[in-house]
Amino acid sequence: MEKTPGKRPDRVTAITPNLPLLKSTSPTRSTHVMAILNLTPDSFSDGNLHSSTDMEALGKTVQKFINAGATIIDIGGQSTRPNAEKLPPTQELERILPAIQHIRSMPEARNIAISVDTFYASVAEDAIAAGADIINDVTAGKADPLMLATAARLQRPIILMHMRGTPQTMTKLTQYPDGVINDVGRELFKRLQAAEAAGIRPWRIILDPGIGFAKTQDQNLELLRRLNELRVYKGLEGFPWLVGTSRKGFIGKITEVKSAHDRAWGTAAAVTASINGGADIVRVHDVAEMVQVVKMADAIFRVKDKRETR
């Protein structure tokens, strides 16, 4: 019989010493903006846009992210779009390590957290050694059996995302017999149990519902509509959440915008819904635009007490 989880106490999650703690139960918290920096030729919306060999251009992009208000930069060396080719860890490292090292050499980035988007334990370890702060694993530790133990040993935050199968198979794994909220909640809780059993402390765990991964359009919309319910699923209470909707295919279908680069308006609505549902971090491509959206959504949904000191 599956153990019924008890209610978890309120907690805070530390990203880096230079960033405010994530207080996921605080109704007045501010939302972090995670800027996407893909160093891939085949990502669905920004493939070939950034190169790991052109540090001057990369530095200018990072500077724009920082000036716009991003607090986290998520670096990826491998596409996880549907049917993407799986690369070996050596190739992924060739792409991301120079970028991490360059960003860490930028004085203006000293207070910026770097997240590494990988499902390989060896990539995560080398990235952390190079200066990354967060592990962002779209498989929640399922793709590499060493990932969770590695994250525990490194003592860094890890993002556990809900996903089924692989990029090659996930579009066929969209059946949720008990409903998308119940099934995603139950499956994420199992990954959370695995992470804690591996030694990852609960205050280093961030959850992600996996918008667009093994989900249909209607399921993506339901997750956004009912994110508050998922956040209080038994065993998931009190954890911070990252939500990534930026430029995704279901937004293009609804808005009838074919080019991913032109989906900022639809993304803005999805980001607003994410914040209304309780997201602590939103992962975006259009950083300057989405920072404005986040500020407005925070002002609407997370009313600040004027007496509060921050």
Report in angstroms the alpha-carbon separations of 296 from 29, 72, 96, 287, 299.
13, 19, 33, 14, 5
Render 55-105 in DSSP notation, one character per residue: HHHHHHHHHHHHHHT-SEEEEESS--STTPPPPPHHHHHHHHHHHHHHHHT
- Among all residues, which ones are annotated catalytic? 248, 283
Torsion angles phi and psi, residue 98, rounded to 5: -60, -35
Q: Which residues contact 150 (CB under 8 A, 6 or more apart)?
A: 121, 124, 125
User: In whole angstroms, what is the distance from residue 249 CA to residue 160 CA?
Assistant: 22
User: In whole angstroms, what is the distance from residue 21 CA to residue 246 CA?
Assistant: 24
User: In whole angstroms, what is the distance from residue 273 CA to residue 264 CA?
Assistant: 14
Residue 296, H or E segment: helix 287-301
